[in-house]
């Protein structure tokens, strides 16, 4: 606690910026294979590293698509529905295949991108810069899928702030949030024994509480009750604040799930990011129910 109070004092004096903790950037390492963990046939993968964002940053994006031929999977009626996946801290295209491709196996066309500082996208993440990267990836994917009405957003952990920030500017028809963060001010309030404005510690705001009130499309909020990294009360608050704005909307608190395994059939595995025992049928029903109803017209 003393260390946190000291951090607040240093922040107030202009000596501290904890944005590096918020983003926890994860650049690709030399020689890493971005597709080493992929189960998608190579012909169905599209990789771009030239989407132009602000400050000359080139955003990388991977799309898992469908062609109906051998090795393809999922309900073909979903192929025209695009899902843009916003990953969380310490992740990049190369280590989120398990989650992204679980959605692909349902039949959706799924894109995941690396904002600046992550994977092979160069630069240092800032709230303004990353927001621009989200928007350029979203605009490119919407054009590829034939329009904004064919694309939904899916954010996980830090990715919920990325997706909701974009949704606040331009609401998608459907938005799924998993292990939702609230606002950085909430984090400061819960962490320090003294009142301190978040700007003492962070340049970023990352305010899902405000942004969710600007989203008018369908909304699904999911969180594990045993999450000790991001408390489930943040998802509850975001969901409550969506009342009168998002429609339809649903909250699913997954009993016993942690920050890592909300979608998993077996939540006794605390760090099972890839759900090796399979995906909870209720998760599948809720996610497909959201995106099929909003985008499957």
pLDDT at 185 (0 to 100): 54
pLDDT at 201 (0 to 100): 57
Contact 283, 154 (CB under 8 A): no
Tell me the torsion sign for CA atoms 145, 147, 148, 150: negative
pLDDT at 125 (0 to 100): 92
pLDDT at 181 (0 to 100): 87
Alpha-carbon span 252 to 284, nearest angstrom = 12
Distance of CA 223 to the CA centre of its chain: 13
Tens place of pLDDT per residue across the chain (297 aa)? 334 443 444 444 454 566 656 778 899 999 999 999 999 999 999 999 999 999 999 999 999 999 999 999 999 999 999 999 999 989 999 999 999 999 999 999 999 999 999 999 999 998 889 999 999 999 999 999 999 999 999 999 999 999 999 999 999 999 999 999 876 556 655 655 545 555 555 555 578 999 999 999 999 999 999 999 899 999 999 999 999 999 999 999 999 999 999 999 999 998 899 999 999 999 999 999 999 999 986
Picking from 251, 186, 242, 234, the residue whose alpha carbon sits closest to that of residue 217 is 242
Alpha-carbon span 258 to 230, nearest angstrom = 9
Identify the helix (H) or strand (E) that includes residue 291: helix 281-295
């Amino acid at each position: 606690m003393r260390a946190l109070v000291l951090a607040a004092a240093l922040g107030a004096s202009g000596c501290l910026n904890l944005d590096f903790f918020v983003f926890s950037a994860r650049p690709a390492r030399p020689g890493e294979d971005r597709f080493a963990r992929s189960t998608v046939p190579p012909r169905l993968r599209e990789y771009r590293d030239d989407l132009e964002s602000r400050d000359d940053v080139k955003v990388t994006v991977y799309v898992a698509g469908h062609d109906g031929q051998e090795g393809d999977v999922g309900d073909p009626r979903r192929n025209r529905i695009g899902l843009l996946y916003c990953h969380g801290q310490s992740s990049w295209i190369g280590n989120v295949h398990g989650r992204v491709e679980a959605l692909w196996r349902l039949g959706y066309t799924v894109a995941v991108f690396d904002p600046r500082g992550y994977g092979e996208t160069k630069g240092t993440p800032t709230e303004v810069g990353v927001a621009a990267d989200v928007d350029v990836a979203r605009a490119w994917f919407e054009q590829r899928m034939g329009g904004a009405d064919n694309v939904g957003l899916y954010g996980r952990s830090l990715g919920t702030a990325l997706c909701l920030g974009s949704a606040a500017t331009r609401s998608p028809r459907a938005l799924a949030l998993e292990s939702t963060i609230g606002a950085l001010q909430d984090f400061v309030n819960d962490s320090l024994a003294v009142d301190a404005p978040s700007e003492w510690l962070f340049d970023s705001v990352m305010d899902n509480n405000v942004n969710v009130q600007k989203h008018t499309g369908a909304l699904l909020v999911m969180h594990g009750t045993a999450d000790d990294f991001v408390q489930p009360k943040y998802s509850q608050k975001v969901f409550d604040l969506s009342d009168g704005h998002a429609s339809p909307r649903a909250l699913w608190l997954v009993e016993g799930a942690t920050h890592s395994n909300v979608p998993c059939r077996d939540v006794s595995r605390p760090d099972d990011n890839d759900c090796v025992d399979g995906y909870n049928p209720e998760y599948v029903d809720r996610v497909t129910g959201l995106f099929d109803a909003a985008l499957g017209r």
